[in-house]
């Protein structure tokens, strides 16, 4: 092989290695782990001060909304109510369908010492959209024969 061809091959390999490194670094920095509240508490020290996602139910009686500061605080609980995680959602409007006991998805940075997520994204889920209509079976969407 001549020197020109070797230089091109070496330059291509260096470029490919650099691109692979940037892709891996970018994915690692932007990826978030997803938890239920009980799993988050079990892995609290691993994800301390890191971005995470949590979904669960809004714990009843924990919601506080300050409209003058646009600050919403509440707790997210798991389905059985055994574990809760506190959430601070500041400088944003409270979602219209935000209510105690409702489904919620929170994304933000977790502080393990305070068991607090400083949320950057808050999304509520409307449970009625996912429930089967009267006379319909939940899995197939077909009419239940016993309704006739």
82, 110 contact by CB (below 8 A): no
pLDDT of residue 62: 94
3-class DSSP state of 122: strand
Residues 6+ apart with CB under 8 A from 33: 43, 47, 50, 52, 53
Between 144 and 4, the higher pLDDT residue? 4
DSSP 12-44: HHHHHHHHHHHHHHHHHHH--EEE-HHHHHHTT
Q: What percent of the chain has pLDDT over 90?
A: 57
Q: Is the pLDDT of residue 8 over 60?
A: yes
- Per mean pLDDT, which range of 41-45, 96-100, 101-105, 108-112 is the poorest? 96-100
pTM tops 0.75: no
Per residue in 59-95, pLDDT (tens digit) is 999 999 999 999 999 999 998 888 999 999 998 888 8
Q: Where are the alpha helices (DSSP H) in the chain?
A: 3-30, 37-42
51/103 Cα distance (integer angstroms): 20
71, 93 contact by CB (below 8 A): no
pLDDT of residue 2: 86
């Amino acid at each position: 092989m001549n020197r020109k061809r070797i230089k091109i091959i070496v330059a291509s390999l260096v470029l490919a290695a650099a691109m692979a490194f940037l892709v891996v670094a970018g994915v690692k920095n932007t990826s978030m782990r997803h938890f239920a509240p009980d799993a988050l508490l079990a892995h609290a020290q691993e994800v301390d001060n890191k971005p995470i996602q949590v979904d669960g139910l809004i714990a009843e009686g924990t919601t506080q909304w300050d409209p003058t500061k646009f600050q919403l605080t509440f707790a997210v609980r798991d389905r059985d109510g055994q574990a809760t995680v506190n959430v601070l959602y500041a400088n944003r409007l409270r979602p219209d369908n935000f209510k105690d006991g409702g489904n919620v998805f929170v994304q933000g940075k977790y502080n393990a010492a305070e068991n607090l997520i400083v949320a950057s994204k808050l999304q509520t889920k409307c449970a009625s959209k996912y429930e089967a209509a009267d006379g319909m079976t939940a899995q197939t969407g077909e009419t239940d024969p016993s309704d006739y």
